[in-house]
Amino acid sequence: MRDTLPLLEQVPFPAIRRGRLDTLQVNLGYRCNQSCFHCHVNAGPNRTEEMPADVADVVLAFLARRRIATLDITGGAPELNGNFRRLVREARALGVKVMDRCNLTILEQPGKEDLAAFLAVNQVEVVASMPCYLQDNVERQRGKGVFAGSIRGLQKLNAVGYGRDPALALNLVYNPQGPALPPPQAALEADYRRVLGESHGIVFNKLFVLANMPIQRFGTTLVAKGEFEGYLQLLQDAHLDANLDGAMCRNLISVDWRGFVYDCDFNQMLGLPLKRRARQRVHLSELLDEDIAGNPIRVAGHCYGCTAGQGSSCGGALQEAAE
């Protein structure tokens, strides 16, 4: 696979620095029951990288010591990691809000029959990928059978109270099929609510609209099709300085399965670690007693994916989030 980093590093992006850290995003590994076309971590069933127990211990120590408000758990399918439930339980016991980036089909994998109930009991916010409300579009991006499995997953979550009980948030994530900016979040959310409600009886809280990042599998495909420069130009032309403050890297760090720290998940996938003073990369265990506010953020051309148009962060469109 062709690495898009050398191309992205040639593209200047405004300098930004970290603000106050409130979210720890941890990637528990790259194993996943799916292998989606747009996956920016190249996850799949044959990946073996997984966060071990001693790194999960560091995550819990960091949450407690730095008084972090939110633990955002991602993967792969993070629920496949043997430390997932311990991390959730212990983080919740610390009073930390926990988010699970769930692919929905995991809810019906063998051995995961009680997963929806576990998430509900622990009041975990579920953020679920659902790239469209139409079967063809979902399956083109995520594979055959994924749409029906995702619908069943959403119904399971609804059945245990998600989307209905105010303590059980169920948010969906949309990203475009190809090299285009996402449509306005509010209008698309209304369409999702209508179609998923009328056709499948599904309720949810919010739709997060995210731009596709020109990295990993998606970036490589753009390069192969000769569309990489055009997509990057589209993102750059739509850049708004007003979106810089809301970029998720200002308040979040991303931790890989080995415990190394990045300014965001995208930088993690590009192999761009957070730099701290003379250190070219740092382990989470080295930051237990260190405040990294003010640290420069490592930026490159892919960052326009966060600042183009309505903006894009792990909580969806920035412009609408600010309203």
Minimum CB distance to ligand SF4 smaller for 259 or for 315: 315
Which position has the token pair 């409130």?
22
| Distance between first and last Cα of the chain | 40
The stretch near ligand SF4 (CB under 6 A) out of 91-99, 221-229, 233-241, 262-270 is 262-270
Spell 222-254 as b/e; 16+ CB within 10 A means b.
bbeeeebeebbebbeebbeeebbebbbbbbbbb
- Whether 59 and 24 have beta carbons less than 8 Å apart is answered as yes
Q: Does 256 bind ligand SF4 (CB under 6 A)?
A: no
Minimum CB distance to ligand SF4 smaller for 164 or for 236: 236
Considering only 51, 306, 308, 317, the residue that binds ligand SF4 (CB under 6 A) is: 306
- Whether 266 and 213 have beta carbons less than 8 Å apart is answered as yes
Instruction: Return the amino acid letter for 83.
Output: N
**One symbol per residue from 21 to 60: x for binding ligand SF4 (CB under 6 A), - otherwise; what is it?**
-----------x-xxx--x-x-x-----------------
- 71 phi and psi, to 5 degrees? -110, 120
Question: Nearest distance from residue 248's CB to ligand SF4, in Å?
Answer: 5
Minimum CB distance to ligand SF4 smaller for 91 or for 247: 247
Using DSSP's 3-state secondary structure scheme, residue 216 falls into helix
Q: Does 116 bind ligand SF4 (CB under 6 A)?
A: no
Minimum CB distance to ligand SF4 smaller for 60 or for 274: 274
**One symbol per residue from 60 to 79: x for binding ligand SF4 (CB under 6 A), - otherwise; what is it?**
---------------xxx--
Minimum CB distance to ligand SF4 smaller for 90 or for 267: 267
Minimum CB distance to ligand SF4 smaller for 260 or for 266: 266
What is the distance of C-alpha 191 from the center of its chain?
A: 22
What is the distance of C-alpha 311 from the center of its chain?
A: 15
Q: How far apart are CA 146 and CA 139, in angstroms?
A: 6
Considering only 303, 308, 317, 318, the residue that binds ligand SF4 (CB under 6 A) is: 303
Closest CA to 208 of 320, 100, 75: 320
- Whether 299 and 11 have beta carbons less than 8 Å apart is answered as no
- Whether 76 and 47 have beta carbons less than 8 Å apart is answered as yes
Question: Nearest distance from residue 192's CB to ligand SF4, in Å?
Answer: 18
Those residues whose C-beta lies under 8 Å from the C-beta of residue 41, and which sit 6 or more positions away, are 27, 30, 75, 76, 216, 265, 269
Q: Does 287 bind ligand SF4 (CB under 6 A)?
A: no
Binding-site residue total for ligand SF4 (CB under 6 A)?
24
Considering only 5, 248, 274, 282, the residue that binds ligand SF4 (CB under 6 A) is: 248
**One symbol per residue from 117 to 156: x for binding ligand SF4 (CB under 6 A), - otherwise; what is it?**
------------x---------------------------
Question: Nearest distance from residue 65's CB to ligand SF4, in Å?
Answer: 24
**One symbol per residue from 95 to 114: x for binding ligand SF4 (CB under 6 A), - otherwise; what is it?**
--------x-----------
- Whether 266 and 235 have beta carbons less than 8 Å apart is answered as no
Residues present in the chain in total? 323
Where do contacts with ligand SF4 occur on this chain (CB under 6 A)?
Answer: 32, 34-36, 39, 41, 43, 75-77, 103, 129, 247-249, 263-264, 266-267, 297, 299, 302-303, 306
